Each structure stands twice: as structure tokens, then as C-alpha cells.
Amino acid sequence: MPFESLSEKIQMSLRRLTGRGKVNEADIEEAMREVRVSLLEADVNYKIVKKFIADVKEKALGERVMKSLTPGDQVVKIVYEELVKLMGESAVPINLKQSGMSVALVVGLQGSGKTTHVGKLSNLLRKEKNLRPLMVAADIYRPAAINQLVTLGKQLNIEVFQMGILTKPQIIVKKALEYAKANNFNFVIIDTAGRLHIDEALMQELVDIKEIAKPDEILLTIDSMTGQDAVNVAMTFHEKLSVTGCLLTKLDSDTRGGAALSIRYMTQIPIKYVGVGEKLDEIELFYPDRMAKRILGMGDVVSFIEKATANFSEDDAMKMAEKLEKGVFNYNDFLDQIKQIKKMGSLKSILGMIPGMGSKLKNVNIDDKQFVYIETMIKAMTKEERRNPDLVAKGYSRRIRIANGSGRSYAEVNGMVKKFEEMKKQMQSLAGMDEKQMEKISKGQAPIPMQQPKVKKGKGKNKGGFRF
């Protein structure tokens, strides 16, 4: 989950302010001191930390906050707003021509994930923008770089233009653009060689490629684990190439956070997309407000719903709703839901979008292989057992047979039956909601039914992230 350690520390620092009827200057000073340490440990640029803390304190010590009925919650809200401002306030999608062919040049250091994310971004834009992409293999220096891009192309069914390792990158790019125009491609994305930002010869090569390609976008890939040094990298590339956006990779790791929280402020280069997993569809448009909510444990309901909408067809949803209204939810339905959930990404990342769940997932080992095990157990059932869950729930000998047939233990089968009953209840509670309730959930104003109820204010035990 992105920024897991940073998120936990900031939440702990601010939690003592929430749920209190009165907060004084000393309370805010102490909380901000801890937040400052957390940000510095996350390798956020010290200039940014200094200004961030100063801005939060100035607003937090204002009359509006100090005289509020929920001053602690107001302070959290200010921290949220300043985090959003720090990361760029709003999403900045890729710049594409209204008509004709758009060109993107992908650059970055060695090992930053350029080639993989050329494939990921091509795949995303093909799906979302209905583009016809051409990936260009212009990295002739890294062993097997061209083969890697060709392999990605085959997996994604996206064409790759390559001329081997003996042709200069400038010529490859020129020929690729000619080929793209002749064959009606409307998006060309160029994979360049990784280089050190101090390598003048290779940087000049990029300048030459830029002159030939005249790209609409120059995307700099930044490894999220780089931390504060990402700023120096971005500044060097920006000076030479006028970078238009950053592509932040490996955000699914427990990164320190320095890169995401420093780049935009220090360089004014927007973070446009983030890599959130190893799978080729695990790339997202970067939303500063959603990321700020994740850091503060507020969840990201909007992204959750978007992912669900993208992977669950309207027809399937209607059919499921009709069945649930009739009180019908069997193992065939359970199997279908698992297949759909797997398409949304890793289970831990999905659960992390639910308000209050982020902090509870710390040190929890969530193995996505559990899905495979459940599928195996369901497939070991008879057709009648899948249609009638009560047969399994009440049949000891049936569960023994299912365990033997699936190669799983009897305890695992029992656990699966329990998960099924829990999901059945959750699905039925969702089906019973009206449009107003669903709208509140989409705006983060109401909990998703699978959430635990919120602890009452004033008890000092709100451990599930912040709400305002």
C-alpha cells in the first residue's frame, strides 16, 4: 500500500487531536512536531517540510479552528488540504492531440521502470482513450531491452517498432514516426535508454530524439523508492528536455513518500500517472486529493467505485441485483464475484481504498493466492452444492469430500464457507441500498456496508482513519 509507514506515523500524530472538544496551541505544536519528523524520515525535502508545517500551524491556530466544536478534526482537514496542495491539487491527464498522431517520449534513470511502464501506459490509453498505440524500442544499450518491449507487445497485443541494436536511436525514432503515419497509428510512445543524469553524451542523445520526435509529452519515470534524490533527477532532466510530466513507479511498495511529496512543489512538474503493481493493468492517473486521503487513512472510495465500475458490466450488476433482491446468492455467484475482484488488482490495495481499513492492514499478510484456493474448493463441489449453499453449510461429509477433492484442508473449507456467508450478507446489504445512500458512499460521506461502525467521538478511540 502506498506510503504505509508514513501514513501510519502521521495518523498516530494527529489521532490525539481528534475526538476532543478542546485543543490548545501546545497540543497542535506537539502534533506538528511529530508530523515534521515523520515527513523528514520519509525523505521529503526539508524546505517543503518547513513550509508545510508553517502553513498548517498558521491555519490551525486561527480562530475558526480553535473555537470549533471539533477543533482536532478541523486540524486534520487542514493537513489534508495542504497535502493536496503539495502534490498538485488536481489530476493532470496526458496531453493528446484532438486529431492526428500524438507522441510521447519516456525518459529516466536506469532501472526506473521505463520499458514496463511504456507498455502499461499504452495499454491504459488504448482502453480509456480508444487509441491505436505504437511502442518504439529506442533503447539499444541495455541488454534485452528490445526483447522486453517486444514481449510486452505480444502480451498486450500492441505493435512494437524496432530496428535492432546496431541502428542509432535517432534513426529508429525517425523511421518509427514515418511508419506510424503510414499505418494510421494515432499514438506513438518511445522507450529510451536509461541513463545517469550526469551523462552528458546520453543526455544530448535525448535532446536529439526530442528534436526529431517533437513529442506532445515528455514523461520522466521516477522510482518511488528514490526519495528526495528524485527532485535532483527531475530538475536535471527538466533543464535539458523541459519535462511535461512524471510517471511515478513502484508506488505499491511501502515507499518513503519523498518523491511524490517533493517533485511537484520543487520542480512544478506534475505527477501524471503512477504504477501501483506488477500487473500490466496496474497503472493509474494520479489524483492528489485521493492520495492525500489514503495517507490520512480516509480511504479512496471514488477510486474503489471506478475500479468496480470498470470491471463489472452493467448487465452483470443488474442480474446480480435481481438475484439478491430475491435472496439468492450461491457459490456460482461467489465464483463470478471473485473473478471480477481479481481484475481490480491486489486485494490489499482494494481494501486500502476503504475508509478506515488502511491502518488495520498494517502487518496483515493478505495473500491473493487465497482467491485461487477458494476457486479450487468451489470447483470441487457438485453442481447441486454450488446452487444450494445450505448443502455445504450443513453437510460435514460434503466438506470433507470438498477438502479432499481440492487438495485443501478441512479447516480451509470451513473458512471458505464462512467467507461466503459474510460476502452474501454484504452483497445483500448493498442490494438494499437506495440511490441516495450509494451517492453518499461515492462521496465518502457514508461507510461501505462491509466497514465496521465508526467509534463515537469523545472516546479517544478512533483508530480507523479520519473523517470530516
Task: Quote the percentage of the chain above a pLDDT of 70.
Answer: 74
What local confidence, expressed as pLDDT, does residue 325 receive? Answer: 61
Better-predicted residue by pLDDT, 309 or 22: 22
Minimum mean pLDDT range among 121-135, 329-343, 425-439: 425-439
What local confidence, expressed as pLDDT, does residue 313 receive? Answer: 60
What local confidence, expressed as pLDDT, does residue 423 receive? Answer: 72
Q: What is the pTM of this model?
A: 0.68
CB-facing half-sphere around the CA of 28: CA atoms within 13 A: 24
Better-predicted residue by pLDDT, 188 or 279: 188
Q: pLDDT band at 450, cuts 50/70/90?
A: very low
Q: pLDDT band at 292, cuts 50/70/90?
A: confident
Is the model's pLDDT at 30 over the cut of 70?
A: yes
| Interval 163-184 mean pLDDT | 96
| Interval 372-384 mean pLDDT | 91
Q: What is the mean pLDDT of the chain?
A: 80
| Interval 37-52 mean pLDDT | 89
**Rounded-to-integer distance, Cα 242 and Cα 245, Å:** 9
Question: Is the CB of residue 239 less than 8 Å from the CB of residue 64?
Answer: no
Better-predicted residue by pLDDT, 23 or 414: 414
Is the model's pLDDT at 285 over the cut of 80?
A: yes
Is the model's pLDDT at 416 over the cut of 80?
A: yes
Instruction: Write out pLDDT tens, residues 70-102.
Output: 777 788 888 889 999 999 888 999 999 988 999
What local confidence, expressed as pLDDT, does residue 277 receive? Answer: 83
Q: pLDDT band at 41, cuts 50/70/90?
A: confident
List the one residue out of 283, 388, 251 whose CA is nearest residue 332: 388
Q: pLDDT band at 357, cuts 50/70/90?
A: very low
Instruction: Write out pLDDT tens, residues 123-170.
Output: 999 999 999 999 999 999 887 899 999 999 999 999 999 999 999 999
Domain boundaries, the chain: 4-87, 102-295, 301-442
Pick the CATH number of 102-295 from 2.40.50.700, 2.40.110.20, 3.40.50.300, 3.30.43.10: 3.40.50.300
**Rounded-to-integer distance, Cα 165 and Cα 23, Å:** 65
Which residues are CB-contacts of 224 (< 8 A; sequence separation ≥ 6)? 2, 248, 249, 250, 251, 253, 255, 259, 260, 274
Is the model's pLDDT at 463 over the cut of 50?
A: no
| Interval 429-440 mean pLDDT | 54
Which residues are CB-contacts of 465 (< 8 A; sequence separation ≥ 6)? 11, 296, 297, 298, 299, 355, 356, 357, 358, 359
| Interval 10-37 mean pLDDT | 83
Task: Quote the percentage of the chain above a pLDDT of 90.
Answer: 39
**Rounded-to-integer distance, Cα 22 and Cα 280, Å:** 49
What local confidence, expressed as pLDDT, does residue 189 receive? Answer: 98
**Rounded-to-integer distance, Cα 243 and Cα 286, Å:** 17
What local confidence, expressed as pLDDT, does residue 370 receive? Answer: 76
Minimum mean pLDDT range among 116-125, 212-221, 304-313: 304-313
Question: Is the CB of residue 386 less than 8 Å from the CB of residue 374?
Answer: no
Is the model's pLDDT at 246 over the cut of 70?
A: yes
CB-facing half-sphere around the CA of 161: CA atoms within 13 A: 26
Class of domain 4-87 (CATH, top level): mainly alpha
CATH superfamily assigned to domain 301-442:
Signal recognition particle, SRP54 subunit, M-domain (1.10.260.30)
Better-predicted residue by pLDDT, 377 or 250: 377
Q: pLDDT band at 425, cuts 50/70/90?
A: confident
**Largest separation between any pair of C-alpha atoms in the chain:** 73
| Interval 423-432 mean pLDDT | 64
**Residues making up the chain, counted from first to last:** 468
Better-predicted residue by pLDDT, 68 or 433: 68
Question: Is the CB of residue 188 less than 8 Å from the CB of residue 133?
Answer: yes
What local confidence, expressed as pLDDT, does residue 98 receive? Answer: 87
Question: Is the CB of residue 173 less than 8 Å from the CB of residue 138?
Answer: yes
Cell of 98: 484532438
| Interval 235-255 mean pLDDT | 86
Q: pLDDT band at 464, cuts 50/70/90?
A: very low
Is the four-CA dihedral 326, 331, 336, 338 of positive or negative sign?
Answer: positive
**Rounded-to-integer distance, Cα 272 and Cα 288, Å:** 10
What local confidence, expressed as pLDDT, does residue 161 receive? Answer: 97
